[in-house]
Structure 1
């Protein structure tokens, strides 16, 4: 469990520098340069991500159950992941109305992903993993939206076609992950 916790601290910690220590990034970029900062950020993120995967995988061998979710919660999880994948796609497709309206659709997608998985998974490792991501996404979204308002940041919508592109990309990735990749990467068949 310690490996999972360390991974979460590294991964979510480095992804929180802009919201919890806004001057840290600017100071680091001034002292070391933009590319070295991005390299360090990427290395810490990658190490954290690998430790999360390793720690969560280890914890699954000897699960400590806090609750056992009814089977029907898997269907709610699958349903909630549809908009989560669309929101993740909307974060990367420039000019969507979703981004213009919501500001940070990735954080909302992470919220939905984490909440959905907490509904259908009840081990201590699940609560740590998905609970940490849910708490981070809630905090990140609130602070990022507040910062956008304070700085007058807006996101321009270009056309509804951009939203349609985000929806299609989100649905394609949802289908690929739900029907193939989830079992291959995590060892669990969502629809099986």
Structure 2
């Protein structure tokens, strides 16, 4: 594709809802462009979001490591002391005959969020150097499909409810992983608000420079 053709592609946006093609608009802070035909969001103002996402992804990976390597809570009851980790919770569910639930927890709180963070890191690092990484299109599509499946916040809510119930019958000591899960939930909320389609705009912008 010639440079002029790529520049023309970069200045149009295609509606994901009805495939209508529009000229890209210059958006201001807080503005969102929607398709006048079907109402689907076309794009929104991101400012310098792409420069902020990479540090947040790195912070998210750090919080993810802390959340999974350290105990969430420690429970002391009747002279017995035990520490609860995410991996331990998944193993306990499996041993109690709830293998399907264990697999769901493993996928939605560990595998899918980790995949999202690693794909984002892989995509973000080369783009400022005007390089599109290998498998770019495929990974952007995977990232888009993973968006509804990360449920760290649901797991965190369940943990908080369980802690509140346990405090009436046992001594509960908060572990470092709980704080890491809170931070990870906040970071993922901000990170995943950066729509995967923005990678296409970034890639074409770098290609036309």
> Which of the two has higher C-alpha Rg?
2
Higher strand share: 2
Structure 2-normalised TM-score? 0.28
